[in-house]
């Protein structure tokens, strides 16, 4: 871990809300719970990835509500043109962007490393930032060939005491797959030349300027955006977790004006900087300005499926870590998986909200997991708010491997995904593929959760559970809304018979990353390669029983599930049936909740945006999209109208349809 300055150079709240005084009090409570200034709520902004710094994915806006949501119609569509298929020169695209609304503008990023500023009422372009093209004779900020990469969000900063007539008093920050973090004038789209100037590259800073303690690993890029807290922009760097000595997952904080490094947090113990790596943050982060804390969800150390050469303690891997925003030093942490052999990266930011439990208001950090479990921690101390039990888990049979003897299991809240499988649970569209799944199940090693990878082949279940953006919190009803899936992963370790393949210096979008466990790969620096993929029949039909995707509401007072409904409709080989409505769909993305009593969610493979009743889960509205909406919806007010926006671009790794459509919906007159 590096200390401060360190680093090595290289409207109304709800429909039928009651009396005005009650509504005002509740509105203030909600704003406080979200950590968002009341003024931003009243303007109807959505100024950060999850709206508020704590990432609640909730808005108090209620112009669109349960009574009128059926009148929701498409208002405008923006198309960036940034879309390409697998096999193209730029690589396959995945549009997973969540726009922000601030400064009377909608900002979002594209798979081709561009940022668009739009008129929020019409979708008309105000400006476009493209670091690969120099303007007015200037050299391009990024000389790398353009290639597709995921960009989930951008961040916004503005000076507390702006200097009149001076540029870049309001800034958009954008990270990219090359490890750069750009500062852009929010009004004009021009690069902010003071940012990074001292390091010889005005307009951006780069993780490549600093030692990441990895060998043969140039993966420093980010897929999720930076966050802003005070006058700092905090950015994570990538790593390739199939390499034993991968880049350490260092998170860095830069001065929002100059780009000067203020601190760097390294989750890998210094004594083992070149023995292992990763434990990076590929998903979204959250912040608590009041407590001056930054919250990061870290991932597995490298290599991901084999840990015999990293049996020492790495407590900050697979952990929710609360960092001091002043120094980058951990204030507290909680490790969700010990000695990870399962690729159980924490897939989303901890939600920093205030729940009502046992008659008290408790500030918490709510962490979802890939196992479909929820970890609830006191935001000040990291203490368990709901009990968590260490339970014995299966031992490894891989020579030299020492799996953790116990793993943490939250006793409450109730999980939002299925937790166990039996042979009788195996599913298929026909008797033939069900029989295949049962036979395959018998071949695989599976002894419940945390069964380690093996040379025989292991079934890792639960797997899928939550993913990025997968949970939201409704403070009005004290409900956690979790989008989940019930999938299993097959992992087989294969002894290598030839030397390691050297990873490319310039990774491509097709190469496996810490977000893509579905590809077989060499585990560089180990005796094995790993074959990993979803547990499906030869017809491509999942062997795990439906529902494959769900939306769940959990009461945060009791920890009990209030309702759970299937999400999406699955079509296999062109076959649909009435039962398919109950199957749900595998999914990517997450929900948004509004003060109108609605849950908006895309995510499913059937390419639809849905609105559910937050109290019952009943579907009230849906709209067709040109491709799956594999992002998180967001909402804002403009010109007296509430808009709901969904990026409907799909993901060419998993969906047949891809697009570049950003779609805005509002109530018909």
Distance separating alpha carbons of residues 97 and 108, to the nearest angstrom = 6
Is the pLDDT confidence value at 189 over 80?
A: yes
Mean pLDDT of 533-559: 94
Looking at the DSSP assignment, which residues form a beta bridge with residue 287? 294
Is the pLDDT confidence value at 357 over 50?
A: yes
Yes or no: say if 279 and 236 are a contact pair by the CB < 8 Å rule. no
Distance separating alpha carbons of residues 209 and 644, to the nearest angstrom = 39
pLDDT class of 645 with cuts at 50, 70, 90: very high
Supply the mean pLDDT for the chain.
90
**Which residues are part of the catalytic machinery?**
343
**Does residue 12 fall inside a structural domain?**
no
**Does residue 1 fall inside a structural domain?**
no
Q: Per-residue pLDDT tens for 190-224? A: 999 999 999 999 999 999 999 999 986 677 899 99
Instruction: For residue 441, give the H/E element and its range.
Output: helix 431-443
Neighbouring CB atoms inside 10 A of 538's CB total 10
Specify whether the backbone of 589 is left (phi greater than 0), alpha (psi in -120 to 50) or beta. left
pLDDT of residue 257: 98
**Does residue 335 fall inside a structural domain?**
yes
**Does residue 58 fall inside a structural domain?**
yes
Which is nearest to 525 in space by CA: 265, 277, 237?
A: 277
529's tokens? 């390669």
Mean pLDDT of 383-392: 98
In this structure, of 71-75, 192-196, 382-386, 535-539, the range with the lowest mean pLDDT score is 535-539
Mean pLDDT of 332-356: 98
pLDDT of residue 101: 98
pLDDT class of 356 with cuts at 50, 70, 90: very high
Q: What are phi and psi of 208, to 5 degrees?
A: -65, -15
Distance separating alpha carbons of residues 448 and 438, to the nearest angstrom = 16
Yes or no: say if 217 and 246 are a contact pair by the CB < 8 Å rule. yes
pLDDT of residue 190: 97
Is the pLDDT confidence value at 30 over 60?
A: no
**Does residue 8 fall inside a structural domain?**
no
Mean pLDDT of 514-537: 79
Is the pLDDT confidence value at 174 over 70?
A: yes
**Does residue 6 fall inside a structural domain?**
no
Instruction: For residue 518, give the H/E element and its range.
Output: none
pLDDT of residue 501: 62
Is the pLDDT confidence value at 383 over 80?
A: yes
CATH number of the domain at 575, please: 2.140.10.10
In this structure, of 27-31, 107-111, 361-365, 589-593, the range with the lowest mean pLDDT score is 27-31
- Residues contacting residue 38 through CB under 8 Å, at least 6 positions apart: 27, 28, 31
In this structure, of 22-26, 185-189, 574-578, the range with the lowest mean pLDDT score is 22-26
Number of domains making up the chain: 1
pLDDT of residue 31: 47
Which is nearest to 484 in space by CA: 622, 374, 325?
A: 374
Q: Are strands 286-288 and 293-297 parallel, antiparallel or unpaired?
A: antiparallel
Which is nearest to 377 in space by CA: 503, 303, 293?
A: 293
Range of the domain at 526: 20-667
Which is nearest to 587 in space by CA: 650, 532, 540, 665?
A: 650
Q: Per-residue pLDDT tens for 233-262? A: 999 999 998 999 999 999 999 999 999 999
Is the pLDDT confidence value at 28 over 70?
A: no
pLDDT of residue 502: 52
pLDDT of residue 136: 77
Q: Per-residue pLDDT tens for 41-93? A: 667 999 999 999 999 999 999 999 999 999 999 999 999 999 998 888 889 99
pLDDT of residue 656: 83
**Does residue 506 fall inside a structural domain?**
yes
pLDDT of residue 508: 38
Mean pLDDT of 544-565: 97
**pTM of the entire structure?**
0.92
**Does residue 199 fall inside a structural domain?**
yes
189's tokens? 């789209």
Yes or no: say if 535 and 488 are a contact pair by the CB < 8 Å rule. yes
Yes or no: say if 118 and 125 are a contact pair by the CB < 8 Å rule. yes
pLDDT of residue 540: 85
pLDDT class of 480 with cuts at 50, 70, 90: very high
């Amino acid at each position: 871990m590096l200390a401060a300055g360190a680093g090595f150079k290289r409207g109304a709240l709800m429909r039928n809300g009651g009396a005005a005084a009650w509504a005002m009090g509740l509105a203030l409570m909600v704003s406080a719970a979200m950590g968002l200034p009341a003024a931003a709520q009243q303007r109807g902004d959505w100024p950060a990835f999850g709206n508020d710094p704590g990432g609640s994915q909730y808005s108090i806006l209620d112009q669109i509500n349960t009574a009128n949501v059926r009148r929701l119609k498409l208002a405008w569509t923006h198309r960036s043109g940034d879309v390409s298929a697998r096999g193209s020169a730029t690589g396959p695209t995945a549009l997973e962007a969540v726009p922000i609304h601030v400064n009377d503008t909608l900002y979002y990023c594209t798979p081709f490393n561009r940022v668009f500023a739009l008129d929020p009422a019409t979708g008309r372009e105000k400006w476009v930032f493209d670091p690969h093209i120099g303007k007015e004779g200037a050299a391009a900020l990024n000389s790398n060939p353009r290639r597709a990469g995921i960009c989930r969000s951008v961040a916004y900063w503005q000076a507390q005491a702006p200097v009149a007539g001076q540029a870049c008093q309001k800034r958009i920050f954008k990270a990219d797959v090359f490890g750069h973090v750009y500062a852009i004038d929010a009004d004009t789209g021009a690069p902010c030349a003071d940012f990074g100037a001292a390091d010889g590259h005005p307009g951006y800073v780069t993780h490549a300027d600093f030692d990441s303690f990895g060998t043969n690993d140039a993966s420093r890029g980010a897929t999720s955006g930076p966050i802003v807290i005070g006058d700092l922009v905090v950015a994570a760097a990538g790593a390739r977790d199939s390499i034993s000595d991968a880049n350490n997952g260092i998170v860095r904080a830069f001065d929002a004006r100059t780009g000067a490094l203020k601190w760097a947090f390294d989750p890998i113990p210094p004594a083992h900087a070149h023995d292992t790596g990763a434990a990076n943050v590929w998903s979204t982060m959250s912040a608590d300005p009041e407590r001056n804390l930054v919250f990061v969800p870290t991932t597995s150390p490298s290599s991901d499926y084999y840990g015999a050469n990293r049996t020492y303690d790495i407590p900050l891997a697979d952990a929710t870590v609360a960092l001091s925003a002043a120094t980058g030093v951990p204030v507290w942490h909680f490790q969700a998986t010990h000695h990870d052999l399962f690729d159980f990266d924490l897939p989303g930011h901890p939600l920093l909200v205030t729940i009502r439990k046992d008659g008290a208001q408790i500030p918490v950090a709510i962490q979802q997991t890939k196992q479909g479990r929820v970890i609830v921690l006191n935001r000040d101390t990291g203490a368990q708010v709901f009990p968590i039990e260490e339970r014995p888990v299966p031992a490894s049979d891989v020579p030299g491997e020492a799996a953790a003897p116990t793993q943490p299991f939250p006793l409450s809240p109730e999980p939002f995904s299925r937790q166990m499988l039996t042979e009788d649970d195996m599913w298929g569209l026909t008797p033939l593929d069900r029989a295949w799944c049962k036979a395959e199940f018998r071949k695989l090693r599976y002894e419940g959760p945390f069964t380690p990878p093996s040379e025989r082949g292991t079934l890792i279940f639960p797997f899928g559970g939550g993913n990025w953006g997968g949970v939201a919190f409704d403070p009005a009803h004290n409900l956690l809304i979790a989008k989940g899936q019930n999938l299993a992963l097959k992992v087989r370790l294969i002894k290598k018979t030839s030397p390691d393949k050297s990873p490319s210096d310039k990774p491509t979008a097709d190469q496996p990353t810490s977000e893509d466990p579905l590809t077989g790969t060499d585990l560089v620096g180990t005796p094995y390669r790993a074959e990993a993929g979803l547990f499906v029949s030869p017809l491509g039909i999942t062997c795990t029983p439906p529902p494959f995707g769900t939306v769940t509401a959990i009461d945060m007072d009791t920890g009990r599930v209030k309702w759970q409904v299937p999400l999406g409709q699955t079509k296999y080989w062109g076959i649909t049936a009435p039962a398919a409505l109950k199957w749900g769909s595998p999914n990517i993305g997450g929900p948004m909740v509004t003060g109108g009593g609605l849950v908006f969610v895309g995510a499913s493979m059937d390419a639809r945006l849905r609105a559910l009743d937050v109290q019952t889960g009943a579907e009230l509205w849906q709209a067709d999209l040109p491709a799956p909406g594999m992002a998180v919806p967001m909402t804002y007010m403009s010109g007296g109208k509430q808009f709901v926006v969904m990026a409907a671009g799909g993901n060419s790794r998993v969906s047949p349809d891809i697009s570049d459509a950003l779609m805005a919906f509002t109530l018909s007159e």
